[in-house]
Amino acid sequence: MLLKVKAKSPDVVFMVSYLMDAMLLMRQSKELDINPKIFAGGAAGFTMPEFIEGARGAAELVYSATLWAPDVKYKGAREFYDKYYKKYGVHPEYHSTEGYAAAYVLKDVLERTKSLKNEDLREALAATDLMTPFGPVKFVAYKKFTNQNHLPTLLVQIQKGKLVTVWPKEFAAADYVYPVPKWAERK
């Protein structure tokens, strides 16, 4: 499959994969000297800490979308990451952070509600306007959706062996690298 991709000489290679396949795809892309302007991945495989190690250098400068990264400029994001890692010995991903934020929102709502009646709980939820380590939480209506937390999707890039938030600019920890240098031009 990758030989067919190489023959087309694409500007962008976008892959959706879980961890094991993501590592293999990038290692083989490097071995085959596939050189698009962007390598991008979707799904959790490309944002897991194990991907960086398992891809053995081929993960460098790969882009991916995610809902959270430890360096995103949300109040408490880095602190959550550090405390979680210290306590559990594993790097939290967005699922862990999202679960923490959900519990934080629940605590906040229960502290603000007048009672545990449905109407009062709904009123407290509707009034929610918080910044959590996972990002802003405010339930709004947009397009055809109601009572949704409209959280921005982040673009991350692996830089110097670390997952770095590069977009949107207001949440970015660093600038993105584009175009990605060809394999032979990398140090």
Tens-digit pLDDT profile for residues 23-59: 999 999 999 999 999 999 987 789 988 999 999 899 9
pLDDT at 152: 87
What's the start-to-end Cα distance of the chain, in Å?
27
Give the residue-averaged pLDDT of 71-99: 93
pLDDT at 42: 87
Percent of the chain with pLDDT strictly greater than 90: 82
pLDDT at 65: 93
- DSSP code per residue over 7-19: HH--SEEEEE--H
pLDDT at 44: 76
Which sequence spans correspond to the domains of the chain? 2-67+153-185, 77-149
In the block, tokens 């210290």 appear at 86
* pLDDT tens track for 109-147: 999 999 999 999 999 999 999 999 999 999 998 889 899
Burial of 142 (0-12, 13-18, 19+ CB in 10 A): exposed
pLDDT at 87: 97
Q: Which class in CATH covers the domain with range 2-67+153-185?
A: alpha beta
Determine if the peptide bond prior to 168 is cis (ω within 30°). yes
Give the residue-averaged pLDDT of 167-174: 94
In the block, tokens 């409209």 appear at 150
Supply the mean pLDDT for the chain. Answer: 94
pLDDT at 150: 85
Percent of the chain with pLDDT strictly greater than 70: 100
